[in-house]
Chains A and B, each alone.
Chain A
Amino acid sequence: MSAMDHTEEPVVLAPPGLQIGPVAWCRKNLFSSIPNTLLTLLALFLLWKLIPPLLDWLLFSAVFSGSSPDACKDAVGACWTLIGVKHRFMLFGFYTYDEQWRPLIATVILLCLICGSGYPKFWGKKLGVAWLIGLPLFGWLMWGGFWGLPLVETDKWGGLPLTVVLAAVGIVVSFPLGVLLALGRRSALPAIRTVSTAYIELIRGVPLISVLFMASVMFPLFLPEGVTINKLLRAQVGIILFTAAYQAETVRGGLQALPKGQYEAGNALGLSYWQSTLLIVLPQSLKLVIPSLVNQFISTFKDTSLVLIIGLYDFLTTTRTAVADPAWQPFYVESYAFAAIVYFGFCFSMSRYSQFLERRLGAQGRR
């Protein structure tokens, strides 16, 4: 046994602090060269100049209590009192004050439906049924007029529910239209191809504002005498017509990316055009473009803010109107920050979701 005894002192190595660990990480990622070091120092300096005052403004010196602009007279920081006082108006606009629980529940239902639709496990017929129940329920809660709920006209709708409904209905309705347009653009029949292409290129060439203008000032002229449709519906139609053209181009990308063999296989099986389109082509090509479709949804959600220009009280308009009052005017940053946080929450979660789907569908596609 003595042969195994260690007679010499073990060699003690210095800890590998310079190869791994925080110090090494900093050396590698922040100070790898002289220009890099300078850049890091510059960035740190800017952050040091920016972050503490920002935090101070946001939290430490901010005013959270009170019920009037006077509470913030001497405040150095943000005046969150504004949100406390005005949040009901910002969220629901001019909706009858005592009935505002209705848009709240309606919006929650709609958001649940949207979130549920995003979960691949739920994709199926039941989801369609859920939408068929959910949308009328949403309409009933918002409009009312029967079963014990007083009627609230659409010109009183406003705030977040309006934004969500414009985006959700816009996306849901424009999607089938977009698919049809995309199929039309790739059709072998010249008349159908020309009409689809002309529509898509025309809409994509003009700004959304012009389509909304058309919806607000020209639609009334288009309709026969005596028929009027309200402003909200007109704006909604404008958004649908606009979004459909963009979705068509996204879907077309998927149709083009599908290998030709799939189309040929469908024909070889003797399937009709619609059979092979619905059973073979669309399921595969839509799956290819789901991430881009979600990005398209994000654009549509942000684009709904443009209805402000034709005088609808969407969420952006209500947050803006909340600081139109001269007493509150100095606190525009708080109001816009609130709106920005809400929009960011929606859009950022959608974009994260699109990345999640991309990974998941990508993993499925690899064999």
Chain B
Amino acid sequence: MTLRATDRPSGVPWYNDEKTRGVLYQVVLLAVVLFVGWWLVSNTLRNLEQRQISTGFGFLWREAGFAIAEQRIRFEPTDSYARALIVGLLNTLEVSAIGIVLATLLGTVVGVARLSTNWLIARLATVYVEVVRNIPLLLQLFFWYAFITQSLPGVREALHPLPGVFLSNRGLAVPVPEFNEGQAWALVGGAIGIAASIFLARWARKRQDATGQPFPTIFAALGLIIVFSFIGWLIGGAHSALSIPEKSGFGFSGGAELSPEFAALLIGLTVYTAAFIAEIVRGGVLAVAYGQTEAAMALGLKSGLVMRLILLPQALRVIVPPMTSQYLNLFKNSTLAIAIGFRDFVSVDDTVMNQTGQAIECVALIMAVYLTVSLLISSFMNWYNNKVALRGSTR
């Protein structure tokens, strides 16, 4: 007779059987979850009925009736709530995307600076990280916003650090290239350049696999992209007009303007997240054993190659997963925009909620949108992580 571990020994009552208990626990948990859910829903429905609030997302198509200061797509007060929310979402995505790029750059620089052999630089980087990490982001945002709106000069006396760049209490005005149909050709040229460099990279890898001859792929690819874009630009008629901001009345005309709210949020998110990214980068570089560098140097690799082929791939393996959560944090922290009046998704949604009283739908919208984008970011980062992970390892 074989005795299986799952068999109940004789003499043990049924309620002490591990399997029965497992089923029981799960049934109880599900019952509790369902009951609480039912209780909340029925309460809510009764309350809504009493306050005569209708449910459903029909309100989204009604006229919004409010204006939004910052818009990437046209928005008039006569447009629908749905369009207002899309405007807010685009603002959120814009500030998060730029913030992620800037925070990564700044964080990497600070993280490497903390490892510097230069005592002063390492100390300064440490002070930056410690100060920034230990002060709430909201406080930092308030500070940056107050600094921009109260301490910077007005438009007339705007700071003028670089030609065409104005810094005032109305935000930052920068020159932008004026878009012209001819420049579309430059984009086409750039695309051709990118396609050509992909083929080049494949060929270079094949040749290296076959003959061991290395090929300076990166420089060649950069060259290809630049040359093709330049040719496209020439074909399009070589337009080079810049729209340069100029003072006019109480504001600026021309160029692109960053509002004080946008600038404060962007600076705050970048500075705050960079401190965390710096720590991750430092940890990642420290995690690669020094023997790896020595081994690479013993093989005769140049220091640039040591970094690119030996250190970076190994450090990235440690860096990427925590970096993902920092990106997600930055994205979620961008919701603090509401406190300084930047019209991000939450801020627009809050206005909609106050106007329509559709609290449940509006909070559900916030959760759905942030959950979706968070999942998108983390699945992209997981894909990237799988690319840099050890071959054959599960994670």
Contacts and interface: CB of A to CB of B under 8 A. Distances in A.
A36 B118 contact: yes
B335 A210 contact: yes
Interface in B45-80: 46-48, 50
A330 to B, nearest CB: 7
Interface stretch (A5-13, A119-127, A185-193): A185-193
Interface in A213-250: 213-214, 217-218, 220-225
A223 B130 CA distance: 43
Interface residues of A, number: 53
Contacts of A60: none
Contacts of A320: 142
Interface stretch (B23-31, B98-106, B170-178): B23-31
Contact of A206 (B137, B362, B371): B371
Contacts of B152: none
Kindly state the interface size class of chain B when it binds its partner.
35 or more
B15 interface: no
A188 B142 contact: no
Sorted from nearest, which 10 A-B pairs have the closest CB atoms? A347-B134, A191-B26, A29-B119, A207-B332, A302-B136, A205-B371, A217-B359, A305-B136, A205-B374, A207-B335
19 contacts: A29-B119, A39-B116, A39-B118, A189-B26, A191-B30, A192-B25, A206-B332, A208-B335, A209-B335, A214-B367, A217-B353, A218-B360, A218-B363, A221-B359, A309-B338, A316-B142, A333-B143, A333-B147, A348-B130
Which of A202, A207, A339: most chain B Cβ within 10 A? A207
Contact of B135 (A30, A43, A192, A340): A340
Contact of A329 (B150, B363, B366, B370): B150
B40 interface: yes
A344 B117 contact: no
A344 B40 CA distance: 40
B183 to A, nearest CB: 38
A12 to B, nearest CB: 32
Nearest to B371: A205
B139 A205 contact: no
A262 interface: no
A23 to B, nearest CB: 14
A302 B366 CA distance: 22
Interface of B: 22, 25-27, 29-30, 33, 40, 43-44, 46-48, 50, 116-121, 124, 130-131, 133-139, 142-143, 146-147, 150-151, 332-333, 335-336, 338-339, 346, 350, 353, 359-360, 362-363, 366-367, 370-371, 374-375
A221 B360 contact: yes
Contacts of A36: 117-118
A201 to B, nearest CB: 9
Interface string A180-200: 000000001111100100000
B138 A29 contact: no
A339 B22 CA distance: 51
Contact of A332 (B44, B146, B360): B146
A298 interface: yes
A336 interface: yes
A225 B150 contact: no
A348 B129 CA distance: 11
A67 interface: no
